[in-house]
Amino acid sequence: MEPTRKTDEKGVTTQTNWMLDEVIDTLKEFSITDDELTKKLAIEKIEYGRVCMMQVVGQADCGYEAYRKLDADLQALIIDLGGMPKNRMWTGINTKP
């Protein structure tokens, strides 16, 4: 797999999936080039991020809509890697849009 990290001619670096990029970097450090393993580990990392986000947003009482937007973005990353997002139940206090 190729990282999403790109550096333009001005030296500006952008990336669209830093969690995938971190997994790729870690596996390269150990000379592992298995694309299926890379995808699986990146999906697990993104799922962990979804759980953490749910807890933080719920505790901060930022609201359900903020959570839904952030969660939708993370689900899209999982789908882009060929995975199926796990069904997560909102545990926050404010569930009204």
Note the pLDDT tens digit of each residue in 9-39.
999 999 999 999 999 999 999 999 999 999 9
Domain boundaries, the chain: 6-80
Residue 67: count of CB within 10 angstroms of its CB: 22
Q: What does each C-alpha distance from 28 to 12, 17, 42, 43 come to in angstroms?
A: 23, 17, 14, 17
Contact (Cβ atoms closer than 8 angstroms) between residue 25 and residue 59? no
Phi-psi region of 37 (alpha: psi -120 to 50; beta: other; left: phi over 0): alpha
More confident residue, 74 or 60: 74
In terms of pTM, does the model score above 0.85? Answer: no
**Mean pLDDT estimate for the chain:** 87
22: amino acid identity, one letter: E
Cα(57)–Cα(29) distance, integer angstroms: 34
What pLDDT score was predicted for residue 90? 63
Model confidence at 57, pLDDT cuts 50, 70, 90, reads confident
